[in-house]
Protein backbone atom coordinates (compact mmCIF):
# COMPACT_ATOMS: atom_id res chain seq x y z
CA UNK A 1 0.00 0.00 0.00
CA UNK A 2 1.07 3.64 -0.13
CA UNK A 3 2.72 4.70 3.14
CA UNK A 4 -0.53 6.27 4.32
CA UNK A 5 -2.40 3.03 3.65
CA UNK A 6 -5.25 2.01 1.42
CA UNK A 7 -8.81 2.93 2.32
CA UNK A 8 -12.07 1.50 1.04
CA UNK A 9 -15.48 0.13 1.86
CA UNK A 10 -15.29 -3.27 3.54
CA UNK A 11 -17.21 -6.20 2.03
CA UNK A 12 -17.55 -9.51 3.92
CA UNK A 13 -17.25 -12.41 1.46
CA UNK A 14 -17.30 -15.45 3.76
CA UNK A 15 -14.77 -18.01 2.54
CA UNK A 16 -13.97 -15.85 -0.51
CA UNK A 17 -14.62 -18.59 -3.08
CA UNK A 18 -16.14 -18.03 -6.54
CA UNK A 19 -19.72 -18.64 -5.35
CA UNK A 20 -19.32 -16.13 -2.49
CA UNK A 21 -19.13 -13.26 -5.01
CA UNK A 22 -22.24 -14.30 -6.99
CA UNK A 23 -24.55 -11.66 -5.48
CA UNK A 24 -21.94 -9.07 -4.47
CA UNK A 25 -20.19 -6.12 -6.10
CA UNK A 26 -16.59 -6.13 -4.87
CA UNK A 27 -15.33 -3.49 -7.32
CA UNK A 28 -13.20 -0.87 -5.58
CA UNK A 29 -13.75 -2.48 -2.16
CA UNK A 30 -11.58 -4.17 0.45
CA UNK A 31 -12.88 -7.69 1.00
CA UNK A 32 -12.95 -9.43 4.38
CA UNK A 33 -12.65 -13.23 4.13
CA UNK A 34 -12.26 -16.19 6.44
CA UNK A 35 -8.89 -17.97 6.45
CA UNK A 36 -10.64 -21.33 5.84
CA UNK A 37 -8.88 -23.40 3.22
CA UNK A 38 -11.87 -23.56 0.90
CA UNK A 39 -10.37 -22.12 -1.21
CA UNK A 40 -6.74 -21.58 -0.08
CA UNK A 41 -5.37 -18.06 0.37
CA UNK A 42 -3.78 -17.71 -3.11
CA UNK A 43 -7.06 -18.65 -4.81
CA UNK A 44 -8.97 -16.20 -2.58
CA UNK A 45 -6.54 -13.53 -3.81
CA UNK A 46 -6.92 -14.52 -7.46
CA UNK A 47 -10.73 -14.47 -7.14
CA UNK A 48 -10.78 -11.15 -5.20
CA UNK A 49 -8.58 -9.57 -7.90
CA UNK A 50 -10.76 -10.96 -10.70
CA UNK A 51 -13.80 -9.44 -8.98
CA UNK A 52 -12.25 -5.98 -8.82
CA UNK A 53 -11.41 -5.82 -5.10
CA UNK A 54 -8.58 -3.44 -4.10
CA UNK A 55 -7.53 -5.11 -0.84
CA UNK A 56 -7.97 -8.33 1.13
CA UNK A 57 -8.21 -8.89 4.89
CA UNK A 58 -8.05 -12.48 6.12
CA UNK A 59 -9.63 -13.35 9.48
CA UNK A 60 -7.82 -16.12 11.35
CA UNK A 61 -9.59 -19.31 12.40
CA UNK A 62 -9.71 -20.84 15.88
CA UNK A 63 -11.87 -19.82 18.85
CA UNK A 64 -13.63 -16.45 18.44
CA UNK A 65 -11.20 -14.93 20.97
CA UNK A 66 -8.06 -16.36 19.29
CA UNK A 67 -5.42 -13.56 19.43
CA UNK A 68 -2.99 -15.18 16.92
CA UNK A 69 -2.07 -13.15 13.84
CA UNK A 70 -2.10 -15.47 10.82
CA UNK A 71 0.78 -15.17 8.37
CA UNK A 72 1.19 -16.72 4.95
CA UNK A 73 1.52 -16.22 1.25
CA UNK A 74 -1.22 -15.08 -1.14
CA UNK A 75 0.71 -15.78 -4.34
CA UNK A 76 -1.28 -17.84 -6.88
CA UNK A 77 1.67 -18.60 -9.19
CA UNK A 78 2.85 -22.12 -8.26
CA UNK A 79 6.65 -22.04 -8.02
CA UNK A 80 8.69 -19.21 -9.48
CA UNK A 81 6.89 -17.03 -12.01
CA UNK A 82 7.85 -17.24 -15.70
CA UNK A 83 7.33 -14.82 -18.57
CA UNK A 84 4.00 -16.59 -19.19
CA UNK A 85 2.43 -16.12 -15.76
CA UNK A 86 4.15 -13.08 -14.25
CA UNK A 87 0.86 -11.21 -14.71
CA UNK A 88 -0.73 -13.54 -12.14
CA UNK A 89 1.57 -12.33 -9.36
CA UNK A 90 -0.68 -10.58 -6.82
CA UNK A 91 -0.93 -6.80 -6.84
CA UNK A 92 -3.64 -6.81 -4.22
CA UNK A 93 -2.49 -5.73 -0.74
CA UNK A 94 -3.48 -8.47 1.71
CA UNK A 95 -3.20 -8.69 5.50
CA UNK A 96 -4.09 -11.28 8.15
CA UNK A 97 -5.80 -10.29 11.40
CA UNK A 98 -6.59 -12.20 14.61
CA UNK A 99 -10.03 -13.79 14.89
CA UNK A 100 -10.44 -11.72 18.06
CA UNK A 101 -10.55 -8.60 15.83
CA UNK A 102 -12.05 -10.14 12.71
CA UNK A 103 -15.33 -11.31 14.24
CA UNK A 104 -16.33 -7.78 15.44
CA UNK A 105 -15.42 -6.39 11.98
CA UNK A 106 -17.62 -9.01 10.31
CA UNK A 107 -20.50 -8.10 12.67
CA UNK A 108 -20.05 -4.37 11.87
CA UNK A 109 -20.37 -5.18 8.15
CA UNK A 110 -23.79 -6.73 8.83
CA UNK A 111 -24.99 -3.49 10.45
CA UNK A 112 -24.09 -1.02 7.72
CA UNK A 113 -21.31 0.51 5.64
CA UNK A 114 -17.85 0.01 7.13
CA UNK A 115 -14.74 1.71 5.85
CA UNK A 116 -11.34 0.13 6.45
CA UNK A 117 -7.77 1.25 6.01
CA UNK A 118 -4.97 -1.27 5.59
CA UNK A 119 -1.28 -0.51 5.71
CA UNK A 120 1.11 -3.13 4.39
CA UNK A 121 4.69 -3.32 3.27
CA UNK A 122 5.86 -6.27 1.19
CA UNK A 123 8.97 -7.32 -0.70
CA UNK A 124 9.18 -9.21 -3.96
CA UNK A 125 12.69 -10.41 -4.70
CA UNK A 126 14.81 -13.22 -6.11
CA UNK A 127 16.93 -15.08 -3.59
CA UNK A 128 19.26 -18.06 -3.56
CA UNK A 129 17.95 -20.75 -1.22
CA UNK A 130 19.69 -23.90 -0.04
CA UNK A 131 17.62 -27.05 -0.28
CA UNK A 132 18.95 -30.23 1.33
CA UNK A 133 18.58 -33.34 -0.85
CA UNK A 134 19.94 -36.78 0.05
CA UNK A 135 20.22 -40.12 -1.78
CA UNK A 136 20.22 -43.52 -0.17
CA UNK A 137 21.42 -45.84 -2.94
CA UNK A 138 19.98 -49.21 -2.11
CA UNK A 139 17.85 -50.48 -4.93
CA UNK A 140 18.17 -52.87 -7.84
CA UNK A 141 17.43 -50.39 -10.62
CA UNK A 142 16.72 -46.71 -11.20
CA UNK A 143 13.47 -46.68 -9.23
CA UNK A 144 13.27 -44.52 -6.12
CA UNK A 145 10.89 -43.37 -3.43
CA UNK A 146 10.94 -39.69 -2.40
CA UNK A 147 10.35 -38.64 1.20
CA UNK A 148 10.01 -34.89 1.66
CA UNK A 149 8.67 -32.06 3.76
CA UNK A 150 9.00 -28.29 3.78
CA UNK A 151 11.62 -26.78 6.07
CA UNK A 152 10.59 -23.10 5.96
CA UNK A 153 7.98 -21.73 8.35
CA UNK A 154 6.03 -18.70 9.46
CA UNK A 155 5.94 -17.80 13.13
CA UNK A 156 7.05 -20.51 15.54
CA UNK A 157 7.06 -23.43 13.13
CA UNK A 158 7.06 -26.23 15.73
CA UNK A 159 4.25 -28.28 14.16
CA UNK A 160 4.54 -26.66 10.75
CA UNK A 161 6.95 -27.99 9.98
CA UNK A 162 9.75 -28.90 12.40
CA UNK A 163 7.71 -31.95 13.45
CA UNK A 164 7.52 -32.93 9.76
CA UNK A 165 11.30 -32.63 9.43
CA UNK A 166 11.58 -34.95 12.44
CA UNK A 167 9.28 -37.57 10.89
CA UNK A 168 11.18 -37.53 7.60
CA UNK A 169 14.55 -37.88 9.36
CA UNK A 170 13.29 -40.74 11.50
CA UNK A 171 11.74 -42.65 8.57
CA UNK A 172 14.96 -42.14 6.60
CA UNK A 173 17.03 -43.37 9.57
CA UNK A 174 14.97 -46.57 9.86
CA UNK A 175 15.21 -47.22 6.10
CA UNK A 176 18.98 -46.61 6.17
CA UNK A 177 19.33 -49.09 9.05
CA UNK A 178 17.67 -51.72 6.83
CA UNK A 179 19.37 -50.72 3.61
CA UNK A 180 20.12 -54.30 2.57
CA UNK A 181 16.40 -55.15 2.61
CA UNK A 182 15.36 -52.31 0.28
CA UNK A 183 14.58 -52.96 -3.37
CA UNK A 184 14.48 -49.27 -4.28
CA UNK A 185 16.59 -46.18 -3.71
CA UNK A 186 15.39 -43.55 -1.30
CA UNK A 187 15.67 -39.83 -1.90
CA UNK A 188 15.00 -37.27 0.82
CA UNK A 189 14.36 -33.58 0.26
CA UNK A 190 13.52 -30.63 2.50
CA UNK A 191 11.54 -28.08 0.49
CA UNK A 192 12.23 -24.38 0.63
CA UNK A 193 9.79 -21.52 0.03
CA UNK A 194 6.70 -23.65 0.65
CA UNK A 195 5.20 -21.07 2.97
CA UNK A 196 6.90 -17.81 2.06
CA UNK A 197 6.94 -18.19 -1.71
CA UNK A 198 4.61 -20.88 -2.78
CA UNK A 199 6.02 -24.33 -3.58
CA UNK A 200 9.20 -22.89 -5.16
CA UNK A 201 11.43 -25.65 -3.79
CA UNK A 202 9.42 -28.68 -4.92
CA UNK A 203 8.66 -26.99 -8.26
CA UNK A 204 12.36 -26.34 -8.87
CA UNK A 205 13.05 -29.99 -8.00
CA UNK A 206 10.46 -31.22 -10.52
CA UNK A 207 11.66 -28.84 -13.26
CA UNK A 208 15.32 -29.65 -12.63
CA UNK A 209 15.02 -33.47 -12.30
CA UNK A 210 11.97 -33.92 -14.54
CA UNK A 211 13.39 -36.78 -16.63
CA UNK A 212 14.89 -38.66 -13.67
CA UNK A 213 11.58 -38.35 -11.83
CA UNK A 214 9.59 -39.41 -14.88
CA UNK A 215 11.72 -42.50 -15.44
CA UNK A 216 12.31 -43.58 -11.87
CA UNK A 217 10.18 -42.13 -9.10
CA UNK A 218 7.64 -44.69 -7.86
CA UNK A 219 6.09 -42.68 -5.05
CA UNK A 220 6.19 -39.48 -3.02
CA UNK A 221 5.47 -39.22 0.69
CA UNK A 222 5.01 -35.61 1.78
CA UNK A 223 5.01 -34.89 5.50
CA UNK A 224 3.39 -31.67 6.69
CA UNK A 225 2.27 -30.77 10.21
CA UNK A 226 2.34 -34.10 12.05
CA UNK A 227 2.42 -34.40 15.85
CA UNK A 228 -0.10 -31.66 16.68
CA UNK A 229 -1.41 -31.59 20.25
CA UNK A 230 -5.10 -32.70 20.57
CA UNK A 231 -4.96 -34.64 17.26
CA UNK A 232 -6.61 -38.03 17.72
CA UNK A 233 -7.06 -39.81 14.42
CA UNK A 234 -4.84 -40.42 11.41
CA UNK A 235 -6.31 -39.39 8.07
CA UNK A 236 -4.61 -39.90 4.73
CA UNK A 237 -5.08 -38.37 1.33
CA UNK A 238 -3.56 -40.50 -1.40
CA UNK A 239 -3.50 -40.96 -5.17
CA UNK A 240 -6.18 -43.56 -5.99
CA UNK A 241 -3.62 -46.24 -6.96
CA UNK A 242 -2.50 -46.25 -3.30
CA UNK A 243 -5.96 -46.65 -1.75
CA UNK A 244 -5.79 -50.47 -1.59
CA UNK A 245 -2.28 -50.35 -0.11
CA UNK A 246 -3.47 -47.83 2.53
CA UNK A 247 -6.24 -50.20 3.62
CA UNK A 248 -3.69 -52.98 4.14
CA UNK A 249 -0.93 -50.90 5.73
CA UNK A 250 -2.83 -48.64 8.12
CA UNK A 251 -4.45 -51.37 10.30
CA UNK A 252 -1.05 -53.07 10.62
CA UNK A 253 0.64 -49.81 11.63
CA UNK A 254 -1.99 -48.20 13.88
CA UNK A 255 -4.56 -50.89 14.67
CA UNK A 256 -7.43 -49.08 12.94
CA UNK A 257 -8.19 -47.78 9.48
CA UNK A 258 -9.74 -44.57 8.17
CA UNK A 259 -11.11 -44.42 4.62
CA UNK A 260 -8.54 -43.22 2.09
CA UNK A 261 -9.34 -39.73 0.79
CA UNK A 262 -8.65 -37.97 -2.44
CA UNK A 263 -5.27 -36.25 -2.63
CA UNK A 264 -5.72 -32.80 -4.15
CA UNK A 265 -3.04 -30.73 -5.83
CA UNK A 266 -2.20 -28.52 -2.85
CA UNK A 267 0.79 -28.31 -0.52
CA UNK A 268 4.01 -29.44 -2.18
CA UNK A 269 2.13 -31.73 -4.58
CA UNK A 270 4.20 -30.44 -7.48
CA UNK A 271 4.43 -33.95 -9.00
CA UNK A 272 0.87 -34.20 -10.42
CA UNK A 273 2.07 -33.16 -13.88
CA UNK A 274 4.80 -35.80 -14.11
CA UNK A 275 2.29 -38.25 -12.68
CA UNK A 276 3.93 -39.61 -9.51
CA UNK A 277 1.48 -41.23 -7.08
CA UNK A 278 1.68 -39.57 -3.68
CA UNK A 279 0.63 -39.75 -0.05
CA UNK A 280 0.02 -36.93 2.39
CA UNK A 281 -1.45 -37.70 5.79
CA UNK A 282 -1.36 -36.60 9.41
CA UNK A 283 -2.97 -37.10 12.79
CA UNK A 284 -6.07 -34.86 12.74
CA UNK A 285 -8.49 -33.25 15.19
CA UNK A 286 -11.97 -34.52 16.06
CA UNK A 287 -15.00 -33.11 14.23
CA UNK A 288 -16.18 -31.45 17.46
CA UNK A 289 -12.89 -29.62 17.97
CA UNK A 290 -12.76 -28.51 14.33
CA UNK A 291 -16.27 -27.10 14.61
CA UNK A 292 -15.32 -25.13 17.72
CA UNK A 293 -12.19 -23.87 15.97
CA UNK A 294 -14.01 -22.78 12.80
CA UNK A 295 -12.29 -25.34 10.64
CA UNK A 296 -8.74 -24.84 11.97
CA UNK A 297 -7.45 -28.10 10.48
CA UNK A 298 -3.87 -27.11 11.34
CA UNK A 299 -4.70 -25.72 14.78
CA UNK A 300 -5.55 -22.18 15.98
CA UNK A 301 -1.77 -21.57 16.25
CA UNK A 302 -1.24 -22.24 12.53
CA UNK A 303 1.41 -20.00 10.91
CA UNK A 304 1.66 -17.72 13.92
CA UNK A 305 4.17 -17.12 16.72
CA UNK A 306 2.02 -19.43 18.85
CA UNK A 307 3.16 -22.55 16.94
CA UNK A 308 5.63 -23.51 19.67
CA UNK A 309 6.69 -26.78 21.33
CA UNK A 310 3.69 -26.25 23.65
CA UNK A 311 1.34 -27.30 20.85
CA UNK A 312 3.41 -30.29 19.71
CA UNK A 313 2.83 -33.77 21.18
CA UNK A 314 5.34 -36.61 21.25
CA UNK A 315 2.73 -39.38 21.52
CA UNK A 316 0.84 -38.04 18.52
CA UNK A 317 4.10 -37.67 16.58
CA UNK A 318 4.91 -41.33 17.29
CA UNK A 319 1.68 -42.34 15.50
CA UNK A 320 2.61 -40.19 12.49
CA UNK A 321 6.05 -41.82 12.40
CA UNK A 322 4.62 -45.35 12.61
CA UNK A 323 2.28 -44.95 9.65
CA UNK A 324 4.74 -42.97 7.50
CA UNK A 325 7.37 -45.65 8.07
CA UNK A 326 4.87 -48.36 7.14
CA UNK A 327 4.02 -46.67 3.83
CA UNK A 328 7.70 -46.06 3.04
CA UNK A 329 8.67 -49.61 3.95
CA UNK A 330 5.95 -51.09 1.75
CA UNK A 331 6.90 -48.91 -1.22
CA UNK A 332 10.63 -49.49 -0.81
CA UNK A 333 10.56 -53.25 -0.29
CA UNK A 334 7.57 -54.90 -1.97
CA UNK A 335 8.78 -56.71 -5.10
CA UNK A 336 5.64 -55.80 -7.04
CA UNK A 337 4.70 -52.16 -6.50
CA UNK A 338 1.50 -51.87 -4.43
CA UNK A 339 -0.47 -50.00 -7.10
CA UNK A 340 -4.12 -50.73 -7.82
CA UNK A 341 -5.60 -48.78 -10.75
CA UNK A 342 -9.17 -50.00 -10.31
CA UNK A 343 -10.14 -46.87 -8.28
CA UNK A 344 -8.55 -44.57 -10.91
CA UNK A 345 -10.48 -46.37 -13.68
CA UNK A 346 -13.79 -46.19 -11.83
CA UNK A 347 -13.31 -42.47 -11.11
CA UNK A 348 -12.40 -41.82 -14.74
CA UNK A 349 -15.53 -43.53 -16.06
CA UNK A 350 -17.87 -42.04 -13.43
CA UNK A 351 -16.52 -38.51 -13.85
CA UNK A 352 -16.82 -38.61 -17.64
CA UNK A 353 -20.37 -39.95 -17.36
CA UNK A 354 -21.21 -37.10 -14.95
CA UNK A 355 -19.75 -34.51 -17.30
CA UNK A 356 -21.64 -35.98 -20.27
CA UNK A 357 -24.89 -35.38 -18.36
CA UNK A 358 -24.27 -31.66 -17.81
CA UNK A 359 -22.63 -30.85 -21.18
CA UNK A 360 -24.71 -30.54 -24.33
CA UNK A 361 -24.68 -32.95 -27.29
CA UNK A 362 -22.11 -30.97 -29.27
CA UNK A 363 -19.14 -32.10 -27.15
CA UNK A 364 -19.56 -35.84 -27.75
CA UNK A 365 -18.03 -37.69 -24.82
CA UNK A 366 -19.50 -41.12 -25.71
CA UNK A 367 -16.35 -42.52 -27.36
CA UNK A 368 -14.20 -41.37 -24.44
CA UNK A 369 -16.60 -43.02 -21.97
CA UNK A 370 -16.44 -46.29 -23.95
CA UNK A 371 -12.64 -46.21 -23.75
CA UNK A 372 -12.88 -45.56 -20.00
CA UNK A 373 -15.16 -48.60 -19.59
CA UNK A 374 -12.56 -50.73 -21.36
CA UNK A 375 -9.87 -49.36 -19.07
CA UNK A 376 -11.95 -50.35 -16.06
CA UNK A 377 -11.84 -54.00 -17.20
CA UNK A 378 -8.16 -53.81 -18.05
CA UNK A 379 -7.26 -52.20 -14.69
CA UNK A 380 -8.88 -55.20 -12.97
CA UNK A 381 -6.76 -57.55 -15.10
CA UNK A 382 -3.60 -55.56 -14.26
CA UNK A 383 -4.42 -55.84 -10.57
CA UNK A 384 -4.92 -59.62 -10.87
CA UNK A 385 -1.60 -60.07 -12.65
CA UNK A 386 0.29 -57.87 -10.16
CA UNK A 387 -1.32 -59.58 -7.16
CA UNK A 388 -0.55 -63.09 -8.49
CA UNK A 389 3.05 -62.11 -9.10
CA UNK A 390 3.40 -60.63 -5.61
CA UNK A 391 1.97 -63.88 -4.14
CA UNK A 392 4.71 -65.85 -5.87
CA UNK A 393 7.31 -63.72 -4.08
CA UNK A 394 5.49 -64.16 -0.77
CA UNK A 395 5.49 -67.94 -1.17
CA UNK A 396 9.22 -68.08 -1.63
CA UNK A 397 10.02 -67.33 -5.26
CA UNK A 398 12.96 -64.96 -5.64
CA UNK A 399 15.56 -63.62 -8.02
CA UNK A 400 16.21 -64.14 -11.73
CA UNK A 401 13.15 -64.40 -13.95
CA UNK A 402 10.89 -63.38 -11.02
CA UNK A 403 12.74 -60.11 -10.58
CA UNK A 404 12.75 -59.43 -14.32
CA UNK A 405 9.00 -60.02 -14.51
CA UNK A 406 8.38 -57.78 -11.49
CA UNK A 407 10.52 -55.01 -12.99
CA UNK A 408 8.61 -55.18 -16.28
CA UNK A 409 5.22 -55.04 -14.54
CA UNK A 410 6.39 -52.26 -12.20
CA UNK A 411 7.66 -50.20 -15.06
CA UNK A 412 4.46 -50.54 -17.07
CA UNK A 413 2.44 -49.59 -13.97
CA UNK A 414 4.71 -46.56 -13.50
CA UNK A 415 3.74 -45.46 -17.01
CA UNK A 416 0.03 -45.90 -16.24
CA UNK A 417 0.46 -43.49 -13.30
CA UNK A 418 2.29 -41.02 -15.54
CA UNK A 419 -0.72 -40.99 -17.86
CA UNK A 420 -3.66 -41.13 -15.46
CA UNK A 421 -2.56 -38.72 -12.68
CA UNK A 422 -2.24 -35.54 -14.80
CA UNK A 423 -5.63 -36.22 -16.39
CA UNK A 424 -7.45 -36.91 -13.13
CA UNK A 425 -5.84 -34.12 -11.12
CA UNK A 426 -4.44 -31.21 -13.14
CA UNK A 427 -5.54 -28.74 -15.78
CA UNK A 428 -2.18 -27.70 -17.15
CA UNK A 429 -0.87 -31.22 -17.85
CA UNK A 430 2.54 -32.82 -17.64
CA UNK A 431 5.10 -30.01 -17.69
CA UNK A 432 3.62 -27.07 -15.82
CA UNK A 433 1.85 -26.22 -12.57
CA UNK A 434 -1.71 -25.00 -12.10
CA UNK A 435 -2.20 -21.81 -10.11
CA UNK A 436 -2.31 -22.61 -6.40
CA UNK A 437 -5.68 -23.85 -5.15
CA UNK A 438 -7.36 -23.27 -8.52
CA UNK A 439 -11.09 -23.92 -7.93
CA UNK A 440 -11.39 -26.38 -10.86
CA UNK A 441 -8.91 -28.70 -9.11
CA UNK A 442 -11.63 -29.60 -6.61
CA UNK A 443 -13.11 -31.79 -9.36
CA UNK A 444 -11.71 -34.94 -10.96
CA UNK A 445 -10.61 -34.38 -14.59
CA UNK A 446 -10.54 -30.63 -13.83
CA UNK A 447 -9.78 -29.69 -17.45
CA UNK A 448 -13.40 -30.62 -18.23
CA UNK A 449 -14.86 -29.11 -15.05
CA UNK A 450 -16.60 -26.34 -17.00
CA UNK A 451 -18.50 -28.53 -19.49
CA UNK A 452 -21.75 -27.19 -18.04
CA UNK A 453 -20.94 -23.86 -19.75
CA UNK A 454 -22.22 -25.37 -23.03
CA UNK A 455 -25.66 -26.37 -21.79
CA UNK A 456 -28.57 -24.16 -22.76
CA UNK A 457 -26.56 -21.99 -25.17
CA UNK A 458 -27.30 -21.66 -28.87
CA UNK A 459 -24.56 -23.75 -30.58
CA UNK A 460 -24.17 -20.96 -33.15
CA UNK A 461 -23.68 -18.24 -30.53
CA UNK A 462 -20.27 -16.75 -29.91
CA UNK A 463 -20.34 -17.73 -26.26
CA UNK A 464 -20.96 -21.38 -27.13
CA UNK A 465 -18.22 -21.33 -29.76
CA UNK A 466 -15.68 -19.94 -27.29
CA UNK A 467 -16.41 -22.65 -24.72
CA UNK A 468 -16.67 -25.44 -27.30
CA UNK A 469 -13.29 -24.51 -28.77
CA UNK A 470 -11.65 -24.82 -25.37
CA UNK A 471 -13.49 -27.90 -24.16
CA UNK A 472 -13.19 -29.98 -27.33
CA UNK A 473 -9.39 -29.77 -27.07
CA UNK A 474 -9.57 -30.93 -23.46
CA UNK A 475 -11.85 -33.76 -24.55
CA UNK A 476 -9.21 -34.77 -27.11
CA UNK A 477 -6.46 -34.68 -24.51
CA UNK A 478 -8.48 -36.93 -22.18
CA UNK A 479 -9.43 -39.32 -24.98
CA UNK A 480 -5.82 -39.61 -26.07
CA UNK A 481 -4.76 -40.38 -22.50
CA UNK A 482 -7.44 -43.05 -21.95
CA UNK A 483 -6.46 -44.73 -25.20
CA UNK A 484 -2.82 -44.80 -24.02
CA UNK A 485 -3.96 -46.23 -20.66
CA UNK A 486 -5.67 -49.09 -22.47
CA UNK A 487 -2.52 -49.85 -24.47
CA UNK A 488 -0.33 -49.82 -21.36
CA UNK A 489 -2.77 -51.96 -19.37
CA UNK A 490 -3.11 -54.45 -22.24
CA UNK A 491 0.65 -54.95 -22.27
CA UNK A 492 0.61 -55.99 -18.60
CA UNK A 493 -2.58 -58.01 -18.57
CA UNK A 494 -1.80 -60.18 -21.60
ZN1 LIG B 1 3.07 -26.82 6.31
Q: Report how far ligand 1's centroid is from the alpha carbon of 446 (Å).
A: 25
Task: Count the Cβ atoms, other than its own, within 10 Å of residue 174.
Answer: 14
pLDDT band at 125 (very low <50, low <70, confident <90, very high): confident
Asked whether the beta carbons of 306 and 70 are under 8 A apart, the reply is no
Give me the mean pLDDT over the 478-491 stretch: 97
Cα(338) to centroid of ligand 1, in Å?
27
pLDDT at residue 177 tops 80: yes
CA of 286 relative to ligand 1 center, distance in Å: 20
Q: Average of pLDDT values for 166-170? A: 98
Distance of CA 437 from the midpoint of ligand 1 (Å): 15
Lowest-pLDDT range of 118-132, 323-337, 473-487: 118-132
- In a 10 Å sphere around its CB, with 0-12 CB exposed, 13-18 middle and 19+ buried, how is residue 19 labelled? exposed
Separation of first and last alpha carbons in the chain = 64
Provide the pLDDT for residue 415.
97
Q: If you measure from the C-alpha of residue 160 to the centroid of ligand 1, how many angstroms do you get, rounded to a whole number?
A: 5
Percent above pLDDT 90 for the chain: 88
Q: Tell me what the mean pLDDT of segment 303-308 comes to.
A: 92
Residue pair 151/168 in contact (Cβ under 8 Å)? The answer is no
Alpha-carbon distance of 409 to 420, in angstroms, equals 17
What is the 93 CA–ligand 1 centroid distance (Å)? 23
Average pLDDT, the chain: 95
CA–CA gap between residue 314 and residue 316 (Å, rounded): 5
CA of 302 to the centre of ligand 1 (A): 9
- What is the whole-number distance in angstroms between the Cα of residue 25 and the centre of ligand 1? 34
Q: What mean pLDDT do residues 398-414 have?
A: 91
CA of 81 to the centre of ligand 1 (A): 21
Measure 97 CA to ligand 1 centroid, in angstroms: 19
Report the separation in Å between the CA atom of 418 and the middle of ligand 1, taken as the mean of its atom positions: 26
Q: Tell me the CA–centroid distance for residue 223 and ligand 1, in Å.
A: 8
441 CA to centre of ligand 1 in angstroms:
20
Q: Within a 13 Å sphere around the CA of 354, how many CA atoms are in the beta-carbon half? A: 13
State the distance from the centre of ligand 1 to the C-alpha of 421, rounded, in angstroms: 23
DSSP strand pairing (261-262 vs 185-191) = unpaired
Q: Is it the case that residue 218 has pLDDT exceeding 80?
A: yes
Percentage of the residues of the chain whose pLDDT score is greater than 70: 100
Distance from Cα 451 to the centre of ligand 1, integer Å: 34
Ion ligand 1 nearby residues (CB, 5 A): 160-161, 224
Confidence band (pLDDT; 50, 70, 90) for 396? confident
Q: How far is the CA of 150 from the centre of ligand 1 (A)?
A: 7
- Exposure string of 475-493, with b = 16+ CB inside 10 Å and e = fewer, is bebbbebbbbbbebbeebb
Amino acid sequence: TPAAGLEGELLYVGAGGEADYADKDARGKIVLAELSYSPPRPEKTRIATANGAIGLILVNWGDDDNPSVPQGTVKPVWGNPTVDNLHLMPNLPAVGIPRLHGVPLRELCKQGTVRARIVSDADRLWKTLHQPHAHLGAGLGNHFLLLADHMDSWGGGATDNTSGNAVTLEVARVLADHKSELRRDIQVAFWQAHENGIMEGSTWFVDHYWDEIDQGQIGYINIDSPGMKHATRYEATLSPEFWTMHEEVMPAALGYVTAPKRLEKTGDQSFFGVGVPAISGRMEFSKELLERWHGAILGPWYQSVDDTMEVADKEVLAQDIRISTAYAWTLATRPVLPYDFRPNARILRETLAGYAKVADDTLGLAATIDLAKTFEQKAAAVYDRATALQRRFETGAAGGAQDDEAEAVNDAMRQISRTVIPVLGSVVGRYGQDTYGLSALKRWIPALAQVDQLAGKDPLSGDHQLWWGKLVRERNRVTDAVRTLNDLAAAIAE
